[in-house]
Amino acid sequence: MRVVTEHSPPGEYLDANGRVTGATAELVRELMKRAGEPGDIVLLPWARGYRMALQEPNVALFEATRSEIREDLFKWVGPIKRVTGGFFVRRQDDLAIETLDDARELNGVCAYRGGSDGQSLTALGFTNLEQPTRPAQCLEMLMHRRVDAWMTSDIGHLPLFAETDYSANDVTLAYITSAKYLYIAMSLDTADATVARWQKILDKMKLDGTFAQYYRGTYPDEMIEALSHPGHPDFPWLDQGG
């Protein structure tokens, strides 16, 4: 298998020696070791890695969102991550958001310009949007009380705190709008036995605590707990036996 990923810290990035590392990369590397795969992980631009997995044999790409559109394009091993999106607020405010209508009434919602979050909220008729050019500006605007909420995800916002004096504990997820599950996407020609072997090994890593060991301190505890049990989410596009 040729195993590829993209630059996406803290999960995947190059260290000072040019080696692919990060919490998710090291998890996958351990999985490869247990599966007897002799190669290593290669970091490529996402579009190139995706095209490889789509068109070339024996390619494993991570982290790929498993979706209805992609379901029949790959074979899947996972989930290895869950990304929960929604409205984040200042923890000290204890602000309740129970519906999208509540969010429409807030004193400003920040979503960076050009991102899918802002596009989605615009399509939903939000008129209280603030859309700066950089995601980190949304964090600053939230903490300086220029907006009441920040539309982002529990994992996507983590690297931004490194650029500021704030901590991830300063914000809390007040309303969930989406949950995406990320997988290792294997090219369609990959033998079913190989896919099953990788899945079995990953499941065992979840049960023996290895999965949590690699993620603890990097990703939210809620995500780690939710994914530390073997099994797949109930994807609505799959049949009951899918």
Q: Assign 237 to helix, strand or coil.
A: coil
CB 121 within 8 A of CB 129: yes
Q: Among the residues of 39-171, which ranges form H helices?
A: 46-55, 100-104, 116-123, 135-143
Q: Is the pLDDT of residue 204 over 90?
A: yes
Helix (H, G, I), strand (E, B) or coil at 225: helix
Q: Is 87 exposed, middle or buried (0-12, 13-18, 19+ CB in 10 A)?
A: buried
Average of per-residue pLDDT across 70-98: 95
Q: How do 20-21 and 13-14 pair as beta strands? A: antiparallel
Q: Domain 2-82+181-227: which CATH class?
A: alpha beta
Distance CA 7, CA 21 (A): 10
pLDDT of residue 46: 93
How are the residues of the chain apportioned to helix, strand and coil, as percentages rounded to the nearest 5? 35, 25, 35
**CATH 3.40.190.10 location in the chain:** 2-82+181-227, 84-178
Fold observed for domain 84-178: D-Maltodextrin-Binding Protein; domain 2 (3.40.190)
pLDDT in the model for residue 156 = 83
Give the mean model confidence (pLDDT) for residues 68-86. 95
Whether residue 64 has pLDDT greater than 70: yes
